[in-house]
Every structure is written in structure tokens, then in C-alpha cells.
Amino acid sequence: MRKKLGKSSKKRIDYYPFGMPMPDRNVEGDYRYGYQGEYAEKDKETGLNAFQLRMYDSRIGRWISPDPMGEFFSPYLAMGNNPISKTDPTGGSTSDCPKCPDPNGPFILTDGMEHVSSDGQTYSYDKENGWSSAPIVDLGTTYKTNPRINIGLSIMKNLVDENIKYSQAGNRTSLTGNGLCGLDCSETVAIYLKMMGTMQKRDGYLYTGVMTNEKDFRNAIGSNNIDFVEGSTASDFTPRAGDIFVWRKSNGVGHTGIIYSVDGNKATVLEAIGNVGSSDERFNRNNGGSLSTGISRTAVYRINGRALSKHAGWYGYFRPINVNF
């Protein structure tokens, strides 16, 4: 990106896409504006781009304070991660989402309201968590989940539905080619927690042996952002979307996965599973789950069935908290 001005200003700046000036390619001048033109000025004290509502750090392509309008799933995401075609005139919302909150005038926000952007994307508003463009998972009538967890679940479902070969050889928290050369069950959960901001250890390593109690689980992910769900060892307990189930037998064999949605006594699960499959494989196949094993997949199990709460070594559910991504 290049901003070239008239001769009188004697200023030229070449930018990387997110606004960091390229070294040794700038001519300084008296023009007051910089990256994103008239919308922002350089703050003399911090060197950051000062917009009307908040400051922007071009080195990392992120705002340094949360979005007051809640336009994107991450409150720090700048220009929708698309700085080439989008601008954010005030630091509140991008210009190509005109029907999201208008930062230049009054806008009455009500819980559950929806708007459609110029590209046809539907945005929904939740008074607790702001705007979200994520498809809302059908959670039934039992409860309502955090929209940001919905986003993470949607991303994870797309990932496991790639039917990646089951393997324990990958980088356990990475979405790189090496990380996805194969997936096992705890690696799938680790990627989910890393993406959600719950797992803070850069080199965190999960396996079911450190997921059987809250203390060990928290230590493994490097934060307190995971709770054991009280009462979840009972066979009649109903989990929530986003919960993580764990069972591990005395011989060290175990399994874990993510609850995607709940419908009565059926839970749709995101998992990576070996060639043997689950202990409730017939029910899974008869109820719309994946027909294959030895891969990452979406499965359907009975909540009180042999793949979940009635499995030997059942430890219950753990719930991510303070989701931030």
C-alpha cells in the first residue's frame, strides 16, 4: 500500500497491508495523516494510529482496546482482517458493513436483532457479547450459549469435517500443515482451546491423563479458564455446546471430544477417533453421524449412552470460560 502526496507536502509512505511503514522507503513531510488517510493521525506519545474511538497498532494489525461496537468475533480484530478492501473510519465498524451499528449517529441496540451487510452476511446482536456473524448453532430449548463459542464450534466443525486421518504425530496446537498431518482426540480439543484463547501455554500438551480433574487440566493449558462442571459425572446430566467430555480407563486408554449441540438425549460431537470407532457406533450411524472411523469427524451419541456417560472411566464434562479470540 502506498500513499503518495503532492509536491508541496514532500511526503511519501509505503505501507505493509496492515499499515506498518516499510523501512527506508519513506519521505517525511508535514502532511498530518497517515495509514487509512484522513481517518487517523499518528499519536506523538505512543507512535500508534489514533482513530476517533481507539488506538491501532500496525505492527500486529490489531486495536489495543476492545471494539465498542462489537462488529467482529474478536474485539481487537482490525478491518475484518482485510485491510486492502476495508476501512474503519472511527475504530468502531468497517465501512462495508453499513447496517451494523452506525458510529456517526444514534443506534438503538436490542437483544436478538439482526442486520445484513452489503455482502449479504447476516449479523446478530447479543447485549452481553455484541455483534456476531457466526451461524447460530441449534441448541434446542434448554439453554443459550455464548455467541463466541458458537463461532469456535463452527470453525471446529469445518475442521473435523475435513476427515483428517487419525494420528498422534501432529503439532498439537497448530493449524499449520504439520499440525494437521493427523489428528487425535486430545489434539483436536487442544486446537479448540488454543483458538478460543483458553489454552495459554505456547507448547501446551494435552492428553486424557491430564484432563481427568480440574487442577491438572488447568495446569496443562496454563490458565484457570477451564472449569469442571459439577454434577456432570451423572448419567442424566445434560451438557452444553462447547463442553468437553473426558473418559479414561485404568489401563490408560481414553477419549475426549467437544459437544457441538444437544437435542434431547442426543449430543452431536466433534472428535478424532481411531479405527475401532466408539462404543455407540451403531447409534451414531443410525442418527446422522459420520459413517467412517480412523478420522476426525462429527458424530452423534446418546448423552446417557456407552460412548459418553456410561463409558468405563467416565470423568464428566469440562467447560471453557473467559473465551477471548
Please report the pLDDT score of residue 125 as a whole number: 53
| Closest to 26 (Cα-Cα) out of 4, 45, 43 | 4
Question: Each residue's pLDDT tens digit in the chain (325 positions)?
Answer: 444 444 445 567 777 777 777 777 666 655 556 666 655 677 778 878 887 778 888 888 888 887 766 667 677 888 878 877 777 777 777 754 444 443 333 333 444 555 544 455 555 555 555 555 544 444 333 334 455 566 678 878 888 988 988 987 655 544 444 455 678 999 899 888 887 778 876 555 789 999 999 999 999 998 999 999 999 999 999 999 999 999 999 999 999 999 999 999 999 999 999 999 999 999 999 999 999 999 999 999 999 999 999 999 999 999 998 765 4
In a domain, 109, yes or no: no
DSSP string for residues in 222-260? TSS-EEE-TTTTSTT----TT-EEEEE-TTS-EEEEEEE
Backbone phi, then psi, for 291, in 5-degree steps?
-90, -5
b/e burial code for range 224-249 (CB count within 10 A of at least 16 → b): ebbbbbeebeeeebbbbbbbbbbbbe
221 is in which domain, residue-wise?
A: 136-325
Q: Look-up: residue for cell 463452527? A: 154
Residue that finishes a domain, picked among 94, 114, 148: 94
Same domain for 85 and 202, yes or no, is no
| Closest to 207 (Cα-Cα) out of 216, 194, 197, 198 | 216
Please report the pLDDT score of residue 144 as a whole number: 40
How many whole angstroms separate alpha carbon 277 and alpha carbon 279?
A: 7
Same domain for 72 and 150, yes or no, is no
Residue that finishes a domain, picked among 42, 65, 94: 94
Same domain for 170 and 90, yes or no, is no
Q: Look-up: residue for cell 482485510? A: 82
In a domain, 55, yes or no: yes
Same domain for 67 and 175, yes or no, is no
| Closest to 146 (Cα-Cα) out of 268, 240, 239, 65 | 240
Same domain for 177 and 304, yes or no, is yes
Q: Which CATH number is 263's domain given?
A: 3.90.1720.10
Same domain for 78 and 155, yes or no, is no
pTM: predicted TM-score of the whole model, two decimal places: 0.57
Domains of the chain: total: 2
Please report the pLDDT score of residue 139 as a whole number: 34
Q: Where are the alpha helices (DSSP H) in the chain?
A: 147-160, 185-195, 214-221, 281-286
Please report the pLDDT score of residue 254 as a whole number: 95
All three cell numbers of 62: 490489531
Same domain for 157 and 75, yes or no, is no
Same domain for 52 and 159, yes or no, is no
Please report the pLDDT score of residue 10 as a whole number: 59
In a domain, 33, yes or no: yes
Name all contacts of 55-60 with Cβ < 8 Å and 24+ positions apart: 55/91, 56/19, 56/91, 58/15, 58/16, 58/18, 58/19, 58/20, 58/21, 59/20, 60/18
In a domain, 124, yes or no: no
**CB of 59 within 8 A of CB of 48?**
no
Same domain for 80 and 145, yes or no, is no
In a domain, 131, yes or no: no
DSSP string for residues in 48-93? SEE-SS-EEETTTTEESS--SS--SSSTTB-GGG-TTT---SSSS-
Same domain for 155 and 301, yes or no, is yes
Please report the pLDDT score of residue 158 as a whole number: 81
Please report the pLDDT score of residue 311 as a whole number: 97
Residue that finishes a domain, picked among 69, 94, 119: 94
Same domain for 157 and 258, yes or no, is yes
Same domain for 324 and 213, yes or no, is yes
